[in-house]
Amino acid sequence: MARLRDMRRAVVTGGPRPARAEEPLRDGGAARRPGEAVRVRAVLFDRDGTLVADVPGNTDWRRVEPMPTAREALERVRVRGLRTAVVTNQSALGRGGLRWPELRRINARVEELLGPLDAWVVCPHDRDFGCRCRKPRPGLVIEAARRLGVRPQECAVIGDIGSDMAAARAAGAPSVLVPTAQTSAEDVAAAPMVAPDLLSAVRAVLGERT
């Protein structure tokens, strides 16, 4: 029971900062009104397969490798004055295959390679835990928006699989899929927007011509 309580307190936690219990998830900002134009004020990125190469079961920061165009894509977001965050499922934490210090070191390495991000929002649970944060549920998107001081509808989510798109849709946020070899054809077909690489996805979010 004590372990279960600890996991519930750790529903969403920061990245490179020391591990600590965070505030519980809250609902996002005011709902979008019909016909209301919403400006994107933040970009939320999936981590593995989107910002960095997906290395299953990775516990070693030295294996972190940026995805093509990731650095340029993030710099373009920062230059435009938008906030940034990572929203990532890390169920190995709940299973005991990954420790929080290892996760924080990996996330720190991501920032060493790609520059600082404004927030890290992590779900440590596996699919059977029944939490609100694990994608495709919207909890990570809602919490990231809260930390960044924007509404979920003002966040654009960029990821590589269908659960990223589903989490965005459930939170009322726009999204862009950047497929990899692990992305299913069904996920591509169902995505609201598909981009060939991360930079192209960011340009689409920013309304730039590619």
Pairwise CA distance, residues 122 & 108, whole Å = 14
Pairwise CA distance, residues 11 & 89, whole Å = 11
Residues 6+ apart with CB under 8 A from 93: 10, 99, 100, 103, 122, 124
Residues catalogued as catalytic: 46, 48
**Of 46, 1, 6, which is closest to residue 22 (Cα–Cα)?**
6
88 bridge partner residues = 122
Q: Measured on CA atoms in the order 202, 25, 90, 183, is the torsion positive or negative?
A: negative
Burial class for 192, CB neighbours closer than 10 Å (0-12, 13-18, 19+): exposed
User: Are 110 and 91 within 8 A, CB to CB?
Assistant: no
